[in-house]
């Protein structure tokens, strides 16, 4: 999956290709020639009930044109317009990998929002855009279908989605993306879907997190809220944490060891790499013994109330949840440090290691990379180690 780094003018392809006034035209031929992931949308079929306009490429072009025609988008500052344009352009990038024809002839694309999050992150990482900018776009794509049916969800589920989007992106941006998505298609229920988007926007506004992050009484209140479905956002949770654990996250060669040496000198480290070497377990072998040994070491430190660093790639939310859950069960405070580097820098560092990870393995890891976010821990730091 290729992205596009800044050109000689210092601008990314998204900045160069984003529609501008006074004409606000979408340069689709240039966009199509620029991005391989856009060309993959050609000929990908869609459900004719909700997408009678044609294939995914046609819908994406129409959605970009609809965005460019929206007064609410044109009135935004340039950087916000470019960011939303990137979100609309990427919102269905995963459909070539998720589209299938069911036994009854229906065409579905289940899971394309979640996978689109991963694809957007990879594309924008390779394009060299700022981390927060990238994660803003990825979060919008992950949740871009939510406003269509938001009010049909249980209130607790909807609240957590609205609050998560507010922490990573903006709910008014999600409303703009959903509006462009609807206007960029031919379907009978478009007016009803647009009404749902308006209701979603009003819901977020009433909750005080339409264009800003949702406020919580404390970091610990936010942490427990997203871990406990029965909690409400305004509950001021008693902070009974007794030890702080730093959980690392990052691809091989991103600079995790360097960050630990510089920022946590003298602090104990639970390292999966160290345990692999000690137990003579290859990265391609069963990792059960390595994880068990690291977990036992972590438990000893947690019982002793000693702070430590959990050093592993921890690239997915599911993997991080294992160690975060263990720390939380022992009354620990969780701080995640997500370290990353530009692709070429990271690969160069990896190749210089005594035991480099094969490039193909790194590519697969990058394909499932989920950057940590504030719903996972008491604190999350994004570090660019270029």
330 CB-contact burial (10 Å; exposed 0-12 / middle 13-18 / buried 19+): middle
Domain boundary among 155, 187, 206: 206
Please report, for the domain that includes residue 283, its CATH number: 3.40.50.300
- In 3-state terms, what secondary structure has residue 169? coil
- Under the banding of pLDDT at 50, 70 and 90, the label for residue 384 is very high
Query: Does residue 105 lie within any of the structural domains?
Result: yes
CA 155 to chain centre: 23
Same domain, 196 and 297: no
- pLDDT score recorded for residue 1: 54
Please state the rounded mean pLDDT for residues 288-317. Answer: 97
Question: What does the pLDDT look like over 146-201, one tens digit per residue?
Answer: 999 888 888 889 999 999 999 999 999 999 999 999 999 998 889 999 999 999 99
Q: How many CB atoms lie within 10 A of CB 151?
A: 12
Same domain, 200 and 247: no
Same domain, 197 and 278: no
pLDDT higher than 90, residue 245: yes
Please state the rounded mean pLDDT for residues 235-259. Answer: 96
Same domain, 198 and 247: no
Same domain, 195 and 252: no
- pLDDT score recorded for residue 152: 87
Query: Does residue 117 lie within any of the structural domains?
Result: yes
Query: Does residue 232 lie within any of the structural domains?
Result: no
- pLDDT score recorded for residue 283: 76
pLDDT higher than 70, residue 126: yes
Domain boundary among 148, 181, 206: 206
Domain boundary among 180, 206, 232: 206
Same domain, 191 and 247: no
- pLDDT score recorded for residue 188: 85
- pLDDT score recorded for residue 357: 87
- Under the banding of pLDDT at 50, 70 and 90, the label for residue 297 is very high
Average pLDDT, the chain: 95
Q: CB of 245 within 8 A of CB of 327?
A: yes
Same domain, 199 and 248: no
* Of 190-204, 257-271, 353-367, the least confident: 353-367
- Under the banding of pLDDT at 50, 70 and 90, the label for residue 227 is very high
Same domain, 170 and 300: no
Query: Does residue 2 lie within any of the structural domains?
Result: no
pLDDT higher than 90, residue 238: yes
332-340/379-384 β-pairing: parallel
Same domain, 33 and 149: yes
- pLDDT score recorded for residue 72: 95
d(CA 111, CA 281): 34
Token pair of 368, please?
């499932």
Please report, for the domain that includes residue 32, its CATH number: 1.10.3210
Query: Does residue 158 lie within any of the structural domains?
Result: yes
pLDDT higher than 60, residue 2: no
- Under the banding of pLDDT at 50, 70 and 90, the label for residue 8 is low
Query: Does residue 20 lie within any of the structural domains?
Result: yes
Q: Which domain holds residue 379?
A: 243-384
Domain count, the chain: 2
Q: CB of 90 within 8 A of CB of 59?
A: no
Query: Does residue 74 lie within any of the structural domains?
Result: yes
Bond from prior residue into 6 cis (ω within 30 degrees of 0): no
Query: Does residue 224 lie within any of the structural domains?
Result: no
- In 3-state terms, what secondary structure has residue 376? coil
Same domain, 188 and 265: no
Same domain, 200 and 333: no
Look up the pTM and report it. Answer: 0.95
Same domain, 290 and 175: no
């Amino acid at each position: 999956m290729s992205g596009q780094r800044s050109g000689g003018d210092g601008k990314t392809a998204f900045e160069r290709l984003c529609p501008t006034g006074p004409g606000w035209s979408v340069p689709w031929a240039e966009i199509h020639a620029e991005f391989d992931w856009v060309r993959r949308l050609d000929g990908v079929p869609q459900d004719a009930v909700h997408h009678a306009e044609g294939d995914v490429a046609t819908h994406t072009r129409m959605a970009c044109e609809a965005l460019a025609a929206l007064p609410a988008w044109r009135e935004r500052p340039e950087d916000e317009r470019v960011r939303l344009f990137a979100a609309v352009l990427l919102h269905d990038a995963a459909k070539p990998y998720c589209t299938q024809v069911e036994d009854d002839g229906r065409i579905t694309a289940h899971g394309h929002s979640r996978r689109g999050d991963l694809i957007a992150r990879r594309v924008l990482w390779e394009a060299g855009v700022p981390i927060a900018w990238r994660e803003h776009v990825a979060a919008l794509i992950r949740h871009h279908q939510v406003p269509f049916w938001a009010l049909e969800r249980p209130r607790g589920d909807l609240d957590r989605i609205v609050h998560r989007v507010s922490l990573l992106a903006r709910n008014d941006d999600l409303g703009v993306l959903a509006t462009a998505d609807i206007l960029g298609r031919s379907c009978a229920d478009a007016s009803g879907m647009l009404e749902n988007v308006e209701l979603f926007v009003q819901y977020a506004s009433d909750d005080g997190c339409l264009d800003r992050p949702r406020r919580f009484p404390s970091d610990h209140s936010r942490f427990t809220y997203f871990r406990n479905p029965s909690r409400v956002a305004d509950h001021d949770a008693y902070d009974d944490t007794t030890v702080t654990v730093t959980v690392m996250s990052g691809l091989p060669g991103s600079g995790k060891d360097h960050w630990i040496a510089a920022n946590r000198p003298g602090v104990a480290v639970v390292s999966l790499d160290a345990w692999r070497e000690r137990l003579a377990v290859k990265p391609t072998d069963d990792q059960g013994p390595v994880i068990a040994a690291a977990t036992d070491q972590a438990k000893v430190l947690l019982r002793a109330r000693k702070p430590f660093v959990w050093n592993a790639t921890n690239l997915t939310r599911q993997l991080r949840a294992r160690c975060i859950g263990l720390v939380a069960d022992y009354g620990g405070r969780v701080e995640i440090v997500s370290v990353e580097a530009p692709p070429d820098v990271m690969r160069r560092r990896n190749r210089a290691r005594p035991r480099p990870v094969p490039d193909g393995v790194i590519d697969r890891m990058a394909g499932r990379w989920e950057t940590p976010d504030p719903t996972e821990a008491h604190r999350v730091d994004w570090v660019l180690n270029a």
